[in-house]
Structure formats: C-alpha cells, structure tokens
C-alpha cells in the first residue's frame, strides 16, 4: 500500500480519513472498526475503490477502477470508470511506453532477449515450420512470378 509512513495529503469522504503517503499516488483509509461492511477491521481501502463501491456495489473480479483524468487525487464519481483489468493494464503500459523513453528502451531490450529464447524453443521452431508451410501454400496458389525492375531477380508476387 505505501512506501513509508510520511503523510503527503489527506482527503475526507463520508467523514472517513483517506491518507496519501510519500511514494504512493493513491489515498487510503485504514478500516478501524468492524462495523463497516463489507470492509474488515485492519484492512486498507483506496479512495477510488471506496467511492465506486459506495455508488455501484462491489467491483467484479477481473475489473479495476480507472481515473479518467489520470489524477489519482480526483476521486469524484464522475471521474471514475469500471474497466477490465487486462484492458486497464494494456492502456497504462502503452501510455508508459509512449511517454518514457528509458522504460521503452528497457522493454524493447527485454523483448528482444525473450524473442531469442522463444525462437530457440521447441514451440518457436514448430511455429516457424508451420508458418513456412502456410507461406509456401500461399505462394503456390496465389503468387505469380515477377521480375524486379531494379535488380532483375525473379520473385513471387501477390
């Protein structure tokens, strides 16, 4: 939930104190009594999830609450939307790749290394073998032999 106990900011929602700590962009409420169903004493609840659940009920499995304006401090209900976890993660990953050159370079390098390993794997070799068969069939049934006007070599065109 938080990186340390230094309080950065506080918001009050329904008389409950939500605190944002240094190193965390979200506001959290530490459930202090057991008379707040469905929240259990001793757990922590983020402000955006609390606001959404108060208005709409429990968040279904496989979904998250997204801040439309990307401001984690704006927990107004009209700024929140329910999105699938996979869609939400993909959206933020694309955003991070577009905005952060250092992250993009590390991500790209990791992808190249992972691709090298996959191509060496049994699965990778099987995929390429099947793909080559499909390409050959496509060329045989749909391609026509042509001559490159620049180098003079023949090739199969579509």
Q: What is the pLDDT of residues 26-83, one digit of tens each?
A: 999 999 876 677 888 888 999 999 999 999 999 999 999 999 999 999 999 999 999 9
Instruction: Determine the angle formed by the axes of helices 101-120 and 85-99, rounding to 10 degrees.
Output: 120
pLDDT greater than 60 at residue 141: no
In the block, tokens 């609390």 appear at: 50
Q: What is the pLDDT of residues 50-66, one digit of tens each?
A: 999 999 999 999 999 99
Structure-token pair, residue 143:
């391609």
């Amino acid at each position: 939930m938080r990186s340390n106990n230094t309080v950065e900011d506080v918001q009050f929602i329904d008389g409950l104190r939500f605190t944002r700590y240094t190193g965390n962009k979200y506001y959290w409420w530490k459930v202090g009594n057991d008379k707040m169903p469905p929240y259990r004493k001793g757990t922590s609840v983020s402000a955006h999830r609390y606001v959404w659940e108060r208005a709409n009920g429990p968040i279904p499995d496989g979904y998250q609450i997204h801040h439309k304006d990307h401001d984690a401090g704006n927990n107004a209900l009209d700024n929140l939307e329910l999105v699938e976890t996979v869609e939400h993660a993909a959206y933020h990953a694309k955003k991070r790749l577009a905005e952060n050159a250092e992250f993009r370079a590390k991500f790209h390098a990791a992808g190249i290394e992972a691709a090298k390993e996959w191509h060496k794997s049994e699965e990778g070799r099987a995929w390429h073998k099947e793909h080559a068969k499909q390409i050959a069939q496509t060329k045989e049934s749909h391609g026509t032999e042509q001559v490159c006007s620049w180098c003079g070599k023949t090739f199969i065109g579509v």
